[in-house]
Structure 1
Amino acid sequence: MQIRFDDRIALVTGAAQGIGRAIASALVASGATVHLADIDAEGVAATAADIGATPHAVDLGTPEAAGALIAEIVAGSGTLDLLVHAAGGVRGQVGRPIEAISEADWRVIFAANVDAAFFLAQAAAPVMRQAGYGRIVTISSGAGLRPSLTGIQAYSSAKHALVGLTKQLAWEFGPQGITVNSVAPGFVRSNPASERQWQSYGPEGQKRLVESIHTRRLGTAEDIANAALFFLSEQAGWITGQVLSVDGGRS
């Protein structure tokens, strides 16, 4: 099965590094015209230069910012076919007791992981409806399907919400030719935050984690990108509202 995206316009958020970058790179290699968005202006510019994409330095936590980004892409490229929301993360909130989580801590996690996904879908929906075509993929997490680690209350809650949003949008957008699916990664050492988390486990904790995975290895950003590209493809046109765990069998 050959997956190509020639003549397709794509937006990938969280694309400065890690999983977002891997997805964007795979899309470019498969023929898509790709726009990258990330709050890290320097990082997204470097990624864009490396892979041949268009960078947008933006915080997508407000409807105004998301709407302006979609409008800019449509004005320049004519449409938007593919939307991947890979932005988010734990923002350093790992291993903290619930009493230590402030309202600001809670809200910043939801802004990155859920709010931006909603606002982007809201802005992209009219464009995709008019075209009668669209693919939306969210990058959720195993933590959005079941309890996993202690001390990620806001992150786990936000990823559960993202899974719910994915399923609801699939129901609402399906009749207009728009599919909405999610990839739920297992542990992937794809950026500095995940690397710090990995090191915090120590040798014994790392060994236990790897031994809990059927394939006996950690995932890579490319493993997640491969799953995302399938959901974005023509071949996945009758698949929507699904959450695919890409975690080496751990779930």
Structure 2
Amino acid sequence: MEIRFDGERVIVTGAGHGIGRGIAQEFAALGAEVLALDVNKAGLDETAGGGEGLLTTGLLDVTDPAAVRSVVEGFGPASILVHSAGGVRGQVGRPLEEITPADWSDIVDVNMKGAFLMAQAVVPEMKKLRRGRIITISSGAGLGVSLTGIQAYAAAKAGEIGLTRQLAHELGPFGITVNSIAPGFVRSNPTTERQWDAYGPEGQERLTGSIFMRRTGRVEDISGLTLFLASDRAEWITGQVIQVNGGRA
């Protein structure tokens, strides 16, 4: 089954490292015109340098409505959006009573508000095309609990999943599918590497031992499903949250 994206315009947020970078590079290698977005210029430079095909980069804070609209309009009609921006914004797990409103908003905004603003910006042109694919990269934390212990992250990812389902219901009549991929533990960026190191040998062994496949995730484990969901092969799949976690009890 060969999947190509020749002639498609694709926007990928969070493309400055890890999962977002891998997704952007794979779309470009398969013929798409890709706009890779992030707040991290150095990371975007690495994304562009390590890719092939038509891949351009742009700085964007996905929580800024005006900036989101400007960047999306400047790129032109996109038929595929992958919202991979998010994460824990450098925070670590702390007791609930120590969390400030600013801590909470910082994580919720980039994960959930960002998904909303990006979808809002691309949908008008997708409706004109009568076709579109929106894929959010959520997390197993949105379906259970976060291994980080960060309350805002679990809540934001659960909200992102709820938004995905609601948008699928709203946009289906226009030929637009909306799905979410919920990765398990993927060692893909400095934050996840720090988390992995913090577990120590015993904690690492416990984590991998709880995974049916007995290994942590790789970027390509997530990007492969993303490409499928974005393709015509998945045109009757929408409103779904698909866990990619190597199997968990």
Q: 10-19 or 23-32: which moved more?
A: 23-32
Equivalent positions of 1:202-217 (< 5 A) are 202-217=200-215
What's the counterpart of residue 39 of structure 2?
39
CA distance in 2, matches of 1:149, 1:29: 33
Q: Deviations over 1:91-121 (max 9, x none)?
A: 1223211112111110010111011110111
SS of 1:51's equivalent? coil
Question: Runs of 4+ in structure 1 displaced over 6 angstroms?
Answer: none
CA distance in 2, matches of 1:42, 1:125: 29
Matched, 1:199 2:197: yes
CA distance in 1, matches of 2:109, 2:236: 30
What's the counterpart of residue 9 of structure 1?
9
CA distance in 1, matches of 2:236, 2:178: 11
What's the counterpart of residue 70 of structure 1?
72
- Kept after mapping to 1: 8 A contact 2:146/2:153: no
SS of 2:90's equivalent? coil
CA distance in 2, matches of 1:122, 1:22: 24
TM-score, reference length from structure 2: 0.97
- Kept after mapping to 2: 8 A contact 1:93/1:151: no
What's the counterpart of residue 27 of structure 1?
27
What's the counterpart of residue 227 of structure 1?
225
Deviation of 1:148 (Å): 3.7
What are structure 1's unaligned runs of at least 5 residues? none
Q: Deviations over 1:207-241 (max 9, x none)?
A: 00000000001110111001111110110000000
SS of 2:50's equivalent? helix
CA distance in 1, matches of 2:4, 2:84: 20
Equivalent positions of 1:80-229 (< 5 A) are 80-149=78-147, 151-229=149-227
AA aligned to 1:222 is E
Deviation of 1:150 (Å): 5.8
What's the counterpart of residue 18 of structure 2?
18
Aligned residue pairs total 247
AA aligned to 2:59 is A
CA distance in 1, matches of 2:217, 2:177: 26
Deviation of 1:29 (Å): 1.5
Q: Report percent identity of matched pairs.
A: 54
Deviation of 1:65 (Å): 1.4
SS of 2:133's equivalent? strand
- Kept after mapping to 2: 8 A contact 1:213/1:249: yes
CA distance in 2, matches of 1:151, 1:215: 24
Matched, 1:56 2:58: yes
CA distance in 2, matches of 1:203, 1:197: 12
- Kept after mapping to 1: 8 A contact 2:138/2:180: yes
CA distance in 2, matches of 1:92, 1:49: 26
SS of 2:216's equivalent? coil
SS of 1:59's equivalent? coil
Q: Deviations over 1:111-157 (max 9, x none)?
A: 11011110111111101000111000000000000124362100000
Task: Decide whether aligned partners of structure 1 residues 157 and 67 sit closer, same or farther in structure 2, where only a CA change above 3 A counts.
Answer: same
CA distance in 2, matches of 1:150, 1:136: 27
Deviation of 1:51 (Å): 1.1
Query: Over aligned residue pairs, what C-alpha RMSD do you find?
Result: 1.1
Q: Deviations over 1:63-85 (max 9, x none)?
A: 111111110111xxxx2111000
CA distance in 1, matches of 2:204, 2:165: 33
CA distance in 2, matches of 1:246, 1:94: 24
CA distance in 2, matches of 1:71, 1:17: 24
Task: Decide whether aligned partners of structure 1 residues 150 and 116 sit closer, same or farther in structure 2, where only a CA change above 3 A counts.
Answer: closer
